[in-house]
Amino acid sequence: MTTTPATPRTVAGAASLPAAPAAIFALLGLIDIALLGVVGTSIAPPLAVSVIVAALGLVTLVALVPARKGSRPALVTAVVARVISAVLAAGAFVAGAPAWIMAVEAFVIAATLTALVLLRRPARLQEA
């Protein structure tokens, strides 16, 4: 009986996170954490919102390593964290936040959408 060397098994339609969306998600996670810098100022959102957004950023960063290695649960976790963060970012437009915060949040929303579109691209196009 012949045996084959142990190699990681991949499922058709790889679950690993491609480099471009991973880089975008990492940047967005860092932005979420950095927005804790406005806590205690007159322009800060409610403390609970700031903490939740920072936690989403941390969850994103922690999930990226296993997601890049092919972990589907980590990929789903990163995507869900980014989508929730983008939805919460829309609150800046409703709450009448300062222009610079709206610009940051608009970037968060646009970059999240871009990363999600890149995730949907066929693997052969991403490798090119």
- CA 79/CA 9 separation, integer angstroms: 22
Q: pLDDT grade, residue 75 (50/70/90)?
A: very high
Q: pLDDT grade, residue 6 (50/70/90)?
A: very low
The helix/strand count (H/E) of the chain reads as: 6, 0
Residue 88 has pLDDT above 70, yes or no: yes
Q: Residue ranges of the domains in the chain?
A: 19-127
As a whole number, the mean pLDDT across the chain is 85
Q: pLDDT exceeding 90 applies to what percent of the chain? A: 59
Q: Over the stretch 19-33, which tens digit does the pLDDT of each residue have? A: 999 999 999 999 999
DSSP code per residue over 57-119: HHHHHHHHHHHHTT-HHHHHHHHHHHHHHHHHHTHHHHTT--HHHHHHHHHHHHHHHHHHHHH
